[in-house]
Structure 1
Amino acid sequence: MRNISKSCCVFFLFTWTLYSQPVKIWSKLFGGNNTELANGGVVVNDSLIAFVGSSNSTNIANKGLTDMIIAVVNKNGNLKNFKTFGSPQADLLSATELLPNGNLVCVGQVNGSGGDITSNYGLIDGYMLAYNPITNAKVWAKNFGGTNNDIINDVKYLEPGKVIFAGYTKSGDKDIPVNMGGTDAVVGSMDENGTFNAIKMFAGSKEDFAKKIAIIDGGSFYVSGETTSSNESAFIGLSNKGKKDVFVFKLNRNVNKLLAYMFGGPGDDILIESIATPDKGVIHVVNVNTAGGDIDSLIGGKDIFVVKYNEFGNLVWKRMIGGTKDDEAVAAKLNADGDLLITATSSSSDKDVSGNYGDKDVVLFKLSADGSRLQSSNYGGSRGDAAGTIILDKANTYLVSSSFSLNNDLPNTNTMADFWVLHLFECSTAGVQYSPSICIGDTVMVGGQKFYAGNTTGTVVLPKAGLFGCDSIIHVEVLLNTATSEILRDTLCNEESITINNVIFDRNNKVHTFPLKNAAGCDSTLIVDIYFNDPIAVIDSMLHGDNGNGNGFIHLFFVGGKPPYKFKWSNGSATMDIDNLRAGTYTVTVTDDLSCVNSFSFNIKNAVLNRDVSGTDLRMYQNGEVVRLESDQTIETVTIFQSTGAFVAGHKVSAASWQEQFQTLADGIYYLTVTLENGLNVSRKFSIMR
């Protein structure tokens, strides 16, 4: 038995269904001498992430109370750029989207003019700008709205020439076509340069807020938000179940409504995120504080309600997440495996929440695509931490939050609530399958565990052996190779020999068994069995002497070897029998089907017949298919052969005459070998030609 150790293997990746805690790669702070808050972020390229929000730090080019801010950080945690925009009032960016041209389009709100803001329509304006994250330069910027309050909450790229934005307004002039009453939800489309294509209102007579956009494909998208309206205008047929309910509109590329539905409970239901799923459905993440209606029983305090609808607006599944205290989602995204990641601010330390360091922590929830499996991880310190946004890049997760803590995941130099970026790596998204091949009777060692016949499958865990210190989980399935046995048979000439693996095979050594190893390295047996043909021999011959007129002949009959035979006579003939011969010696070389060779010589004398008897001893008569033999002696046996030497039939006669009708013989030449009572063998040739 062999012991085979496998300490280093080539593995194939596959997706796991079990979750493990993410590994922290780095945790860093970015900011100024006051507070920075993050509201959205994206991956820029293979090396950069960007996030947007607000800052009131005076040492970062502050224009007023709070400025809009864009931060660009590389994936090693080094700051590349800070860029601020603002007026003397309070301004912020709510969301950002990476365009195919490499620019970021950012949206938010401004409260005045001055500084970087050249004008203001009145009160709060929506604001949008394009920014190049590589050159750290503004490309274009513009206000949006009317003379009342206008805010843009979200922006998404749909297709070339179509960038979708959504928000709410109290205005009814300038960019706003009409006011339906109270606060109206507004959805617009613009090109990559900020030129408006369409602006449409989706509202009732009360308070309606468009907050999130979820792109389905290049031709349609979801817009969702909150409303206190019910069964009127844009919400005809949709009933509000309490205060603020969540509305969902499915729109086409021209911002025309395809589908609408509403859900909620008796309290205020605050939409945090809507995310399109690969099956064209949508998942909504909502903060709730009152059970009833569509909202299931609360776990305690404020909870997170997650619900999925299909593309036709039908409920697929729903789930409540939280602990016994307040838990509030802040952002959510789908990862590459289809799992939902939610970043939240939590005061709980029980139920669905894994722990709490004190006061409020940042919690990362991971929910499976079907809503059935949940994992949570908490981050922060003891002085209060607030979730901000989440940025995903394959297996990497970047949480951009803010914190006043000085311990645990935060350094003791954290004097203000800066951008706190935590880089996490998801260990559980990939595993390995390993299938070594061994022979029956052997043992393979994988990570210190033995696998053999009878124990061919198992799981090996290598602690902290993977990337970034993740555990490596190896599923082992051993493939068993059996011993093999083969037989090699061949046919050789009578006097021939062959050497195989230094063993000589001839007529005296025809069979040998070799112990070998097969291609898999397992025991194998090769049995060599050689058959040696009988030598080519003349079983009978009929020679007729030459009387001086060249009328001699040689008629032969062969056995042995492997028919058919080829003939080469010394006079150039290539047939078995030769006629019209003059006296002399004639040699024939006979070659069989295996290229075995033998030679024979015959002497034709003047009027002499070798090894034949006189015509009075054996006489043959043929009439069509009937052959008759007569002799002055007793005919003991008659044997019939084909011209190739193959046996046809044999007869015991014991009479002076014999007759047979060959109805079943095929056309061709045949030979009779006749044994007479004196022991002499005499041959005769006949043919069947129909």
Structure 2
Amino acid sequence: MNDQDAFFAKYDNSGNYLWAKSIGGVGSLVGAESGCVINSDAAGNVLVAGYFQTTTDFDPSPATATLSTSGFSEFAMFIAKYDLNGNYVWSKGIIGSANKIPKAITIDNSNIYLTGYFTGVADFDPAAPAYMLTASGSEDAFISKYDMNGNLVWANKIGGSSQDVGNSIVLDASGNIYTTGYFYGTVDFDPSASISNLVSAGTSDGYIAKYDNLGNYVWAKRFGGTNLEIVESIDLDMNNKIIISGYFYGTSDFDPSTNISNLVSVGNADCFLAAYDNSGSYSWAFSFGNVGSDRAYSVLTHNGSIYTTGYYGGTIDCDPSASVNNLISSGTTQDVFIAKYGSSTTTGHGKISIVTSMLLTFPNPNAGNFTIQCEEEDHAVILNQIGQVIQEVDLNVENNYKVQINNLRSGIYLIKGKNRSAKVIVN
């Protein structure tokens, strides 16, 4: 084993542990840094992609199924399949004299789709003959399609003379591919002999691109300003509206057309959510953040709601309306946030309404004396580090609840309500 092995785990819908598996080997780096990406098919089979170096065993059982990058110092890409119990089915290595880093995976009934980035001259076919793509800059984005046995169907690149990265990928019901990420400079998004260039306005701009199931170019859109925009995640809602999340710095125009829809960051990086129709036309966008660095990393749509998660430091208001719904981080670095929003039903720029409620504590940290504030009536318990109940409290929306607990040991305590929780640090 190595200190940077990869793992994947399964839990039921209530969060109860079912199993966990690891893949790795002596000297290997599997999914380090960028991490592995994972998806599952209708039968519960698990598809995992990532990258590795040297010799790696992809079979979690006592048996072995090794792939090796022998002769190459670069990171190789892998795709591996496991059954619904985590048992090994197959693995494929896409190996050669170039780094290949997958950042996202999605599947349909018959195929596996990846996006990420690569360097140099890269072979995307795990079998012979080789299928080579050549990066135009330091890093080019790629989109590749494999069948359910890991055989290459096709692979395309998105690239210019600088750094271009694919971060997320999703399919619609017709099999069209939507991918997103960021780029710098002039980039041709059409893999054919035709040219469809986009030009960034700043150090990196966000993009959304659409391709058909054969990898043919449909359209590509860019947005941004003179600084930085990073798109981390993409999903489609029930009406095929495109929802993206990420972070940006400075003043950014999120409308790809000649119209202007600027957002201005408060801090070094602010989170954003934005929506576009399936032709890439702008619907709405909003941002949230504080004076530090706040980032939204993932977005998911389900039953008309939008969920996003990321991290923040200090105080952050995730509500784009005039209402204030502050979250306060428990320490001096970053905390994770999860936010849920209702879909936009208005015209024009649209409005999103936050549908979560908060449990706030202040001051934080403290010496055992603090106040709990809640937006709804609730019954909560204060738990220590090993889950013991220290105190029970009844919360009223009209009155802050003042807590005074003497002789508390220093550490992190959890305040847990019916549908909300908060951490408090005692020092």
TM-score range, shorter chain: 0.5 to 0.7
Match of 2:265 among 324, 333, 356: 356
- Corresponding residue SS for 2:345: helix
Greater C-alpha radius of gyration:
1
Cα–Cα, structure 1 residues 191 and 323, in superposed 2: closer, same or farther, change >3 Å? Answer: same
TM-score by length of structure 1 reads 0.43
- 1:282, distance to aligned residue in structure 2 (A): 0.9
Amino acid at match of 1:281: N
For residues 459-499 of structure 1, the C-alpha deviation after alignment (integer angstroms, 9 at most, x for no partner) is xxxxx9x998xxxxxxxxxxxxxxxxxxxxxxxxxxxxxxx
- 1:233, distance to aligned residue in structure 2 (A): 6.4
Match of 1:220 among 111, 127, 147: 111
Cα–Cα, structure 1 residues 236 and 356, in superposed 2: closer, same or farther, change >3 Å? Answer: same
Match of 1:179 among 69, 74, 91: 69
Q: 1: distance between equivalents of 2:267 and 2:2?
A: 43
- 1:146, distance to aligned residue in structure 2 (A): 2.0
Partner of 2:379: none
1:288 aligns with 2:168: no
Partner of 1:530: none
- Corresponding residue SS for 1:376: strand
Cα–Cα, structure 1 residues 412 and 293, in superposed 2: closer, same or farther, change >3 Å? Answer: closer
Contact 2:124 2:152 in 1 (8 A): no
Cα–Cα, structure 1 residues 384 and 212, in superposed 2: closer, same or farther, change >3 Å? Answer: closer
Q: Which runs of 4+ in 1 moved over 6 A?
A: none
Contact 1:299 1:320 in 2 (8 A): no
Amino acid at match of 2:336: F
- 1:196, distance to aligned residue in structure 2 (A): 1.0
Amino acid at match of 2:105: I
Q: 1: distance between equivalents of 2:17 and 2:90?
A: 24
- 1:232, distance to aligned residue in structure 2 (A): 4.3
Partner of 1:238: 133
- Corresponding residue SS for 1:238: strand
Unaligned stretches of 5+ residues in structure 1: 1-120, 432-463, 469-690
Contact 1:210 1:225 in 2 (8 A): yes
- 1:418, distance to aligned residue in structure 2 (A): 2.0
Cα–Cα, structure 1 residues 205 and 381, in superposed 2: closer, same or farther, change >3 Å? Answer: same
The count of corresponding residues between Structure 1 and Structure 2 is 312
Partner of 1:383: 292
1:519-558 alignment, distance < 5 Å = none
Q: 2: distance between equivalents of 1:299 and 1:394?
A: 36
Amino acid at match of 1:423: K
Match of 1:141 among 20, 27, 30: 20
1:396 aligns with 2:305: yes
1:558-569 alignment, distance < 5 Å = none
| Cα root mean square deviation, aligned | 2.6
Q: 2: distance between equivalents of 1:347 and 1:393?
A: 29
Contact 2:317 2:327 in 1 (8 A): no
Partner of 2:368: none
Q: 1: distance between equivalents of 2:276 and 2:51?
A: 30
Q: 1: distance between equivalents of 2:337 and 2:112?
A: 32
- 1:407, distance to aligned residue in structure 2 (A): 5.7
Partner of 1:544: none
Partner of 2:241: 339
1:411 aligns with 2:320: no
Amino acid at match of 2:155: A
Match of 1:373 among 263, 272, 282: 282
Contact 2:124 2:132 in 1 (8 A): no
- 1:271, distance to aligned residue in structure 2 (A): 1.7
- Corresponding residue SS for 2:57: coil
Contact 1:129 1:140 in 2 (8 A): yes
1:562-577 alignment, distance < 5 Å = none
1:403-552 alignment, distance < 5 Å = 403-406=312-315, 408-409=317-318, 411=326, 413-416=328-331, 417-428=334-345
Match of 1:204 among 96, 107, 131: 96
- 1:280, distance to aligned residue in structure 2 (A): 1.0
Contact 1:305 1:320 in 2 (8 A): yes
Cα–Cα, structure 1 residues 173 and 354, in superposed 2: closer, same or farther, change >3 Å? Answer: closer
- 1:255, distance to aligned residue in structure 2 (A): 1.4
Q: 2: distance between equivalents of 1:206 and 1:237?
A: 10
Q: 1: distance between equivalents of 2:239 and 2:294?
A: 28
Partner of 2:86: 194
- 1:229, distance to aligned residue in structure 2 (A): 3.7
Counting aligned pairs with the same residue, the percent is: 20
Cα–Cα, structure 1 residues 346 and 160, in superposed 2: closer, same or farther, change >3 Å? Answer: same
Cα–Cα, structure 1 residues 390 and 170, in superposed 2: closer, same or farther, change >3 Å? Answer: same
Contact 1:150 1:171 in 2 (8 A): no
1:150 aligns with 2:2: no
Contact 2:184 2:199 in 1 (8 A): no
Amino acid at match of 1:179: T
- 1:310, distance to aligned residue in structure 2 (A): 0.9
Partner of 2:369: none
- Corresponding residue SS for 1:341: strand
Q: 2: distance between equivalents of 1:228 and 1:400?
A: 30
Match of 1:262 among 157, 177, 180: 157
Contact 2:158 2:187 in 1 (8 A): no
- 1:207, distance to aligned residue in structure 2 (A): 0.8
Amino acid at match of 1:146: G
TM-score by length of structure 2 reads 0.67
Match of 2:217 among 315, 338, 341: 315
Contact 2:23 2:56 in 1 (8 A): no
Partner of 1:305: 207
Amino acid at match of 1:321: F
Q: 1: distance between equivalents of 2:204 and 2:95?
A: 27
Contact 1:390 1:399 in 2 (8 A): yes
- 1:164, distance to aligned residue in structure 2 (A): 0.9
Q: 2: distance between equivalents of 1:366 and 1:232?
A: 35
Cα–Cα, structure 1 residues 381 and 283, in superposed 2: closer, same or farther, change >3 Å? Answer: same
Q: 2: distance between equivalents of 1:276 and 1:412?
A: 33
Q: 2: distance between equivalents of 1:415 and 1:467?
A: 22
Amino acid at match of 1:142: K
Contact 1:158 1:219 in 2 (8 A): no
1:168 aligns with 2:82: no
Partner of 2:6: 126
- Corresponding residue SS for 2:41: strand
Q: 2: distance between equivalents of 1:149 and 1:401?
A: 25
Q: 2: distance between equivalents of 1:203 and 1:170?
A: 9
Cα–Cα, structure 1 residues 407 and 143, in superposed 2: closer, same or farther, change >3 Å? Answer: closer
